[in-house]
Copies of this chain bind each other. A is one copy, B any other.
C-alpha cells in the first residue's frame, strides 16, 4: 500500500543512468529558461502602479518615465549577463560566481539572497497567478489563499515526482502568453495611436480612484523599487548554459536577447497602454479586484474568448514561473550542502532523482509566506525585490572581480593580441562593474523605499540565513574531525565476551517469545524486564499471569536443555516511562563490571502500511532513541522484528532511497 501509493503519487523510481538532459535551441530555450523572466511582466508593472494608485492621471503619466528607467537598468543587466554566459559556460549562478571570485563569505551571502529570492518567487508567482484567476472569475475572490495553497501543493507533488522538464510542453503556455499579450499590447498601442491617445475602451476599466496625494520624488522612488520586480528571472539563462545546444554560448546569448527584448517591449507597451486606457492597479484584498492585465485586455478586446485565453496563459505562465524555483532551489541547496553549508540531507537525491529535502523546505517556506501575507501579491513584492537585486549585485561584482583578476594575471603579455585582449577585458570589467553599481543603486533604493513595507524582513532574514549557513559549516567540519580522530589504529580484538542482554517485554506473546529466543543466541546472560504502570485495575493480575507464563514457557525448557534460564525482572515505574528503568538496569550492569557491553534487544512489531504504522504506539522507537542517546558508549540496541504481514522486497523497492 505504501509503495503503491507512493508510486501513484510520485511515479516509479528513476535510475542514475536515466538522468538524461535535453539540449535546447533558442526557441525552446525561451520557454525553458525565459518563462520566469517573461512572467514578471504580469506583476512588476502592476506592483509599480499599486504604489501610484491614488495619484490619478499624474501617476499614469509618470509611470511611463519609470518604465523607461527600468528598461534601461534591464539593458545594463542584459550586457552584464551576456558576459557571465561566456565566462561561466557551465553554471554561472550567483552563488558560484560570487564564491569563486569574491570568496566564501560573498558566496554564502549570494546563496542566502538566492534562497530567499527562490522562496519569494514561488509565493509571488502563485499569488499573482491567482490574481489573474480571480480577475477572470471574481466569485473565487474569497478563496484566494486556499487556491494559492492548493497550487503550491500541486507544484510540490509534481516536483517530488520529478519534472522531466519537457521544454516542448513549456513552449505551449509560454508562446501563448507571448502571443496573446503581444497581440493585446500591439492592438492597444495601435488603438491609442489611431485615437490620438484617447482610445475607446470596449469594456472600460473602473474609474480612477479620486486623487488623494500628489506625485513626489519619494513616491517615484518607491514605484521604481516595486517595478524592478519586473526584472526578476532574467538571470535564469546564465544559470544553465549547459542546457543549450552547441555552440552553447551563442545559443544562450541569443536566447537571452530574445527574452530581454520581448520583456523590454512588453514593459514599454504596457506603460503606454495603461496610460491610454486609464488603467490603474486595484487592491487585491478587495472584492471586485481586477489585475492590470485583466483590465487592459478587457478594455482592448472586451471580455470574450480572447480575454479568457490571455488570462489562462497568464495563470499558466505564472504557475510555471513558480515552478522554476522548484527546479532551481533544490539544486542550489544541493551545491551549498556539498560545500558543507547546509545539512547533508539536502544533497541526498531521492528515488526520483530529485532533492526532496530542498523541495519540501521550499514548500514550507513559500506556504508560510502565502499564509502570513494572505496570498496578496502586493504585500510580497517589497520582500521579493530585495533578494533578487542582492543576488544580481553580488553576481555582477563577482564578475567584475573575475575580470580584475584576469587583468592581473595577464599583465606582462606585451603582444599586440595581448593588448587587444586586455582592452576587451577592460570593457568587460566596465560593463559588469557598471551593472553591479546600477543594480546596487537599485538595491539601495529598494531597501530604503520599501523598508517599512516589508524590505526590513529580508534585511533581517539575510544575516540570519548567513548565520545558519556558517553554523552548518562549523558543525560539519567538527563532526568530521571527531570521527577521523585516532581511527588510524588496529581494532581491539582482545575482549570478546558477549554482551549482557536486556529484553524489555510487555506481556507474553509471540513477539516476546521470538525476542527471548533471539537473545539467547547472542549471549548466555539474558534478563527480561517488565515495566508496570503504577495504577490501573488488573495490574497485579497481569504480573501474576506473566510470571506463570515465564516459568512454564521459558524457565522450564531452559533448565531441561541445561541452559541458565533468563531472569524475569519486574519493575514499577513511577512515571509513564520505560526509559528510566531500562537505563537503571544498564547502569547496574556498568557498576558491576565496567567492561561489559550491554545489548538491549527489543521486540519490534513491523507494519507494512502507513496506516498500520499509525496504529501502533511507537514506544519501541522512542526507547531505542533514548537508549542510544543516554545509554553511554557501551550500550547497543537491537530490534527483533515481528512482521504482521510477511513481505518480500518487491519491484518498487529497487530504487527506494536509503
Contacts and interface: CB of A to CB of B under 8 A. Distances in A.
B475 A487 contact: no
The majority secondary structure among interface residues of chain A is: mixed
Given A498-B522, A561-B493, A653-B630, A637 B635 contact: no
A580 interface: yes
A581 to B, nearest CB: 10
Contact of A577 (B605, B615, B657): B657
Given A491-B517, A579-B653, A616-B345, A483 B511 contact: yes
A223 B599 CA distance: 67
Interface string A372-404: 101010000000000000000000000000000
Given A145-B145, A343-B615, A653 B624 contact: no
Contact of A508 (B487, B494, B516): B487
Contact of A641 (B615, B636, B655): B636
A120 to B, nearest CB: 18
A423 to B, nearest CB: 38
B484 A513 contact: no
Contacts of A556: 490
A498 B599 CA distance: 14
A146 B633 contact: no
A489 interface: yes
B577 A606 contact: no
Contacts of A649: 579-580, 583, 626, 630
A491 B551 CA distance: 11
Contacts of A517: 491-493
Interface string A494-536: 1111110000000011111110111011100000000001110
Nearest to A488: B553
Contacts of A615: 343-344, 472, 475-476, 479
A629 B642 CA distance: 9
Nearest to A607: B629
A366 interface: no
Contacts of A371: 145-146, 149, 371
Given A344-B617, A615-B344, A647-B629, A579 B638 contact: no
A608 interface: yes
A623 interface: yes
A574 B16 contact: yes
A532 to B, nearest CB: 12
A648 B630 contact: yes
Interface string A397-440: 00000000000000000000000000000000000000000000
A644 B484 contact: no
Nearest to A144: B374
B577 A143 contact: no
Contacts of A287: 286
27 contacts: A15-B575, A16-B576, A145-B374, A343-B615, A348-B617, A350-B576, A353-B576, A371-B371, A476-B615, A483-B511, A483-B605, A483-B642, A484-B509, A484-B510, A488-B549, A491-B553, A492-B557, A493-B517, A493-B561, A497-B521, A575-B655, A576-B655, A579-B653, A624-B639, A628-B641, A630-B648, A633-B641
Given A16-B575, A575-B654, 19 more contacts: A145-B371, A149-B371, A286-B287, A476-B615, A479-B644, A486-B510, A488-B553, A491-B553, A493-B558, A496-B563, A518-B636, A576-B657, A577-B655, A577-B658, A624-B639, A626-B658, A633-B642, A635-B641, A637-B641
Interface of A: 13, 15-17, 142-143, 145-146, 149, 285-287, 343-345, 347-351, 353, 371-372, 374, 376, 472, 475-476, 479, 482-499, 508-514, 516-518, 520-522, 533-535, 549, 552-554, 556-558, 561, 563, 574-580, 583, 597, 599, 601, 604-606, 608, 612, 614-619, 622-624, 626, 628-633, 635-644, 646-649, 653-658
